Amino acid sequence: MSGAKHEAAIIGGGVIGGGWAARLLLNGWDVRVFDPDPAARHKTEAVLANARRALPGLWDTRPPAEGHIRYCQSISETARDVPLVIEAVPERLEVKHLVYEAIETVNETGLIASSTSGLMPSDLQSKMCHPQRLIVAHPFNPVYLLPLVELVAGQQTDPAKIAEATGIYRALGMYPLHCRVEIEGFLSDRLQEALWREALWLLKDKVATAQELDTAIAFGPGLRWAQMGTMQTFHLAGGEGGMRAMLAMFGPCLKWPWTKLTDVPELTDTFVEMVGQQCDAQAGGRDPRQLEQIRDDNLVAILRALKGRDWGAGHSLNQADDARRAADPEPDFRAPVRVLEQVVPSNWTDYNGHMNEARYLEAFSKGTDRFMEMVGVDAAYIASGGSYFTAETHIRHLAEVRAGGKIRVDTLLLSGRGKKMHIFNRMSDATGRLLATGEQILIHVSLKTRRASPPADHIADKLTMIEAHHAKLPRPEGIGRAVGQRPSAKP
């Protein structure tokens, strides 16, 4: 969200509360946190460390300035006069009621969002003085990466609060799913629990090990579920007949005793220990922090793949990037134009541990696309039949770039007259150290004829204006370089 500083209170600093703190802080919010557990601050900081490492890798825009976190000594100090209060305490109704009572003594207007994974919001708000402002906003771990948040209203909830929450979470790069019917467990957890219950029976009956069950999902359906849900997956499996064909073919099988979804194995100490030992063995000696980082890197890679296709969760991330770009100030064309500012994602690195050649080209390409948008070659212009095609690129790799490093690209327009655009891009880090340069020649093309053509007048005029400004600037070293020239050679 752009504009004035936003502030939220988080009651409960465990995995979920810490995840909310990370999501908010890294999106520029100030956060107050309260948890009576003496170890809560340590736990929250551990989650924050992972989030700082992973979340910026999803963004293709300048990361917001991180907000400020304050650890408070009481609910009153935490919740006083903030517009958003997130409750993330244990799943005990009586505990939550006490928390809401304490919140309402110091905050009569703020939105109260419970992170409960299954309690009914009507039950949560039953003893409140102002129940109309309570909603359920159920996230998924890790909260700072996964975009889904289920929004559920209670019987006394003001519908406007669902709309308000939708705007907040969407601005945080999330996908708010309004669960229109109040039901225990909401939507996602009911589906997850069915699969988990069946998995426990397969373990109990010695049909498979924990690792075999996870492999059965991770190497098959899980990859489909990352971009399509159960219903669309089965619809596709039905071929031309779609879901109708699937139900006609396999519907009768649903009555067969394949699963035990209506029953659950007795969780004896022996059974729990067996499952625990198998999961410990599956971890291969990795501690929770290591497993979290592996999980985060994989999620960033999957989400970025979806982002490149503008599909599913990737569409939500692209919307958040677009909103940040729209909030950027008008560039000062009297200086080189800042066209890219982002953090290097973990999946941009190679076997040497630094950014590989293809990613330098991708970064410069993204910067060039952004520069074209700034001069008027936006989606509407391209849809009208005109664009620029890259004819030639020369990249110099001058310094090492590692995952998590901040990079920025500044564009100097050397020439923009006629059908040709000649630009020189400089990539630097947060300190200004030069990392790489990318020189490009682009040709304006009619998308109808696929041949070179003059750009529209308003684009030509803007390029002429920028070129006049940039002609007054010093020429950076490296312009016109050929492959293999010594650094001291003159262009």
The reported pLDDT for the residue numbered 487 is 65
Tracing tokens 């560039």 back to the chain, one arrives at: 331
- Give the side-chain half-sphere CA count within 13 A for 487: 5
Q: What is the number of other CB atoms lying within 10 angstroms of the CB of residue 59?
A: 21
At 197, list the tokens: 């219950």
d(CA 392, CA 413): 15
- Structure-derived torsion over alpha carbons of residues 25, 29, 33, 38, reported in degrees to the nearest 10: 20
Write out the CATH class of domain 329-470.
Answer: alpha beta
**In CATH, which superfamily holds the domain spanning 189-278?**
N-(1-d-carboxylethyl)-l-norvaline Dehydrogenase; domain 2 (1.10.1040.10)
Share of residues in the chain with pLDDT > 70 (%) = 98
In one-letter notation, the amino acid at residue 419 is K
Q: For residue 282, what pLDDT is reported?
A: 86
Q: Per-domain residue ranges for the chain?
A: 7-186, 189-278, 329-470
DSSP 129: S
Burial of 258 (0-12, 13-18, 19+ CB in 10 A): exposed
Cα dihedral sign, 88-89-93-99: negative
Contact in structure between 12 and 41 (CB atoms under 8 Å): no
The mean pLDDT value for 136-146 works out to 97
Per-residue pLDDT tens digits for 428-486? 999 999 999 999 999 999 999 999 999 999 999 999 999 999 999 999 999 998 887 77
Spatial CA neighbour of 294 closest among 139, 174, 145, 117: 145
Question: What one-letter code names the amino acid at 271?
Answer: F
Q: Are 444 and 386 in contact (CB under 8 A)?
A: yes
Q: What is the model's pTM?
A: 0.86
Mean pLDDT of 113-138: 97
Token couple for 163: 């709309």
Residue 276 in 3-state DSSP?
helix
Nearest to 477 by CA among 486, 468, 467: 486
Contact call for residues 151 and 188 (beta carbons, < 8 A): no
pLDDT digits (tens, 9 = 90+) for 12-23: 999 999 999 999
Range 7-186: architecture per CATH: 3-Layer(aba) Sandwich (3.40)
Best CA proximity match to 272, nearest among 195, 199, 193, 204? 204
Model confidence over 232-278: pLDDT tens digits? 888 888 888 888 888 888 878 777 777 777 787 888 899 889 988 99
How many Cα neighbours within 13 Å face the side chain of 223?
5
Q: What are phi and psi of 251, to 5 degrees?
A: -55, -45
Q: What does the buried/exposed string (b/e) look like for 307-336 if buried means 16 or more CB atoms within 10 Å of the residue's CB?
A: beeeebbbebbbebbeebeeeeeebebeeb
Q: Is pLDDT of 421 > 70?
A: yes
Each residue of 51-74: pLDDT tens digit?
Answer: 999 999 999 998 899 999 999 999
pLDDT in tens, 366-390: 999 999 999 999 999 999 999 999 9
